[in-house]
């Protein structure tokens, strides 16, 4: 499951329509294969919430952190404290 527990400061970032759609998919218990394309589009559009979700999607399996790392870095560059924390932990 993708972690969506954002740091308190990160809740101030605007939420894209892609992120809204992603939350709807989770709430409706849609197939997780549908999540990826939605949050990837949002992340590529610069939505910090989608960037964080994308990084967590890749790092959840414990094996693909090297794929999640660029997403965490992008979020950290944009000022996301939620994306900075995993970089300290690695």
What is the tens place of the pLDDT at every residue in 44-59? Answer: 999 999 999 999 888 8
**What predicted TM-score, i.e. pTM, was given to this entire model?**
0.85
In a domain, 77, yes or no: yes
Residue 60 pLDDT > 90: no
| Residue in 37, 41, 57, 49 with CA at minimum distance from that of residue 81 | 49
Task: Tally the domains of the chain.
Answer: 1
Residue 1 pLDDT > 60: no
In a domain, 6, yes or no: no
In a domain, 8, yes or no: no
In a domain, 63, yes or no: yes
In a domain, 85, yes or no: yes
Reported as type and span, the H/E element at residue 82 is: helix 81-89
Residues spanned by the domain of 46: 14-89
């Amino acid at each position: 499951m993708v972690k969506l527990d954002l740091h308190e400061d990160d809740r101030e970032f605007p939420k894209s329509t892609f992120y809204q759609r992603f939350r709807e998919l989770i709430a409706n218990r849609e197939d997780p294969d549908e999540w990826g394309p939605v949050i990837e589009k949002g992340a590529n559009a610069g939505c910090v919430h989608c960037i964080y979700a994308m990084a967590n999607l890749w790092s959840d399996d414990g094996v693909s952190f090297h794929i999640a790392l660029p997403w965490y870095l992008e979020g950290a560059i944009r000022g996301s404290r939620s994306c900075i924390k995993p970089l300290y932990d690695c």
